A = this chain, B = another copy of it.
Amino acid sequence: MDKMRENKDLSFDFDFLDNLVVGIGEVAQITSIPTRQIRYWEDKGIITSLTEEEGKNRRYDYKNIKKMLLIKELLDEGYTLDASAEKVKKRMEIIEETLNKLKKGSR
């Protein structure tokens, strides 16, 4: 197995991140943000989940998990929730751009 294969497998595993969905419990585990807080942020419209129907369990994609992590950082720095959310918007745009570039590059 050579560098080419290794590269294909891992070097930015975009395909993987693109298909990723994670439940709220695991997001809490990953981010150390309590489920209760995640739901609150979602109620406020700061993040969005991929819930198929009312009552079904929430699913979060890479983008939103990333967003939570960034917001958490800013909160720790002392920003308010709204200010953090606003600040994160710009970085999210860049992240999305990058993801789209990689998406195109991978086919």
**Interface residues of A, Cβ cutoff 8 Å to B:** 1, 5-6, 9-13, 16-17, 19-23, 25-26, 29-30, 57, 59, 62, 65-66, 90-91, 94-95, 98-99
Contact = CB atoms under 8 A, between A and B. Distances in A.
Contact of A11 (B6, B12, B29, B90): B12
- For the residues of A in contact with B, the DSSP-based class is helix
A48 B91 CA distance: 36
A97 B4 CA distance: 14
B99 A1 contact: no
A13 B17 contact: yes
A66 B1 contact: no
Nearest to A26: B21
B91 A9 contact: yes
Contacts of A21: 26, 29-30
A21 B65 CA distance: 12
